[in-house]
Structures are given as C-alpha cells and as structure tokens.
Amino acid sequence: MRVDIWSDLVCPWCYIGKRRFETALAAFDHRDDIVVVHRAFQLDPTMPKGQIFRHRDVLMRKYRMSESQAAASQARLEQLAADEGLEYHLAESRTGNTLDAHRLVHLAGEQGIQDPVIERFFRAHFTEGRSLFDDDSLVSLAGEAGLAGAREVLATDRYTANVTSDHQQANALGANGVPFFVIDNRYGVSGAQTADVFADVLARARDEIADSRKP
C-alpha cells in the first residue's frame, strides 16, 4: 500500500504532520507493507532564489498579522511540535525558495533514502537554524543524510520538472496547501491530522484492499 505525502520543507505543519503519521504507522499491524513517497509542494514558488526572509515577516505580510500575533502563533506551533517530540525554534527562523531542496529529495528517491534526507532537512531548518537555501549548506546536509551527487544535481536543472509536476498534481487533487496525504489512491487527508485519524484511514484502506481480494 502506497502513501504519497506532499509537503514543503519550510512548512512547520508538515513536519508535525509527518511525525503524527509516523506515530500511526508505527502502531499499524501492516506497516511493513506501506511504501511512503514524499512529493514536493512549494508554498511560495515565487520567492527569489538565493534570498532569505525572516519567517515572522512573511507571516505578518501574508496573514496581515501584527508582530505580537505572529509571535504568539509561532509560540503555539513550538508547543504543538514539542507535543510530538520535535524541537522548533521559530522566533528568528528564515525562509526562502525551496526548489533546490525539493530537487534533492527527488534525487534521494532514486537512491532509496527519501525519508532520511527529508528528515534531515526538516530538523536542520526547524531545530538547528541551518539553511536550506544555498548550495553549500544543502550539499552538507545531504551528505550527512547519506545522499550522493547533490552538488552535481544543484549545478543543473535536474528534477525541476518533477517538482513542478508534483505541485500541479497536488492542485489537481484539490490540495492548495500542505501537508497533504493520499493513502493507496483511495483517501486524501489534508493537514496535520491526529495520529488517530491517520490510523483510521490506514485501517480502512487496508480493509478495502482485503475485501477486494476476496473471491
């Protein structure tokens, strides 16, 4: 059974949603039969490549928040992340164009290490304050996750079309934001739902597969 997960690497809800899904998966009796495929989605593909912005300023501009409102929103997210065992430091976090990071996740898919790479990128961004927006940092992080050939890919436009295709497919499925999960091409789950919600959808999809195989 395949699970496709669309996310952006600077989306705080995406890391939380990933962890909640993993909690459900760990308790799923048929977890060894699950294949997870990570798909790209850029919350703002128009961000200029090579530039970084304070995430709080982006929030304030996008949602017309005051500084105090944005700070409170980030503090709530930090607590929600902590509830899932994640450590977020959002007050001075930076954001930018994630195309190149997504391209490396596609490269990781070819090498069979998508999850270690995307996990490393999430932790680098939200916990360690490391950049996902320049080649040297991305190559270093990719290497730490065991990914080979990152610098060579970044020197080309390889996988750019894949990233664009992922985003377009999510939109075609009705997803205008992330995280977005598709379980066995049967169920779509939007947002960082609770582990119980994911567990229920996994069980229903598995039951439907079993019923379809009955004579």
Q: Where are the domains of the chain?
A: 2-47+97-204
Higher pLDDT, 84 or 213: 84
pLDDT tens, residue by residue, 71-86? 999 999 999 999 999 9
Strands 35-40 and 187-190: unpaired
CA distance 204 to 57: 41
CA distance 9 to 121: 7
pTM for this predicted structure = 0.96
| Tokens, residue 199 | 């567990």
pLDDT given at position 211: 83
Asked if CATH classification 3.40.640.10 holds for the domain at 2-47+97-204, the reply, yes or no, is: no
pLDDT given at position 172: 96
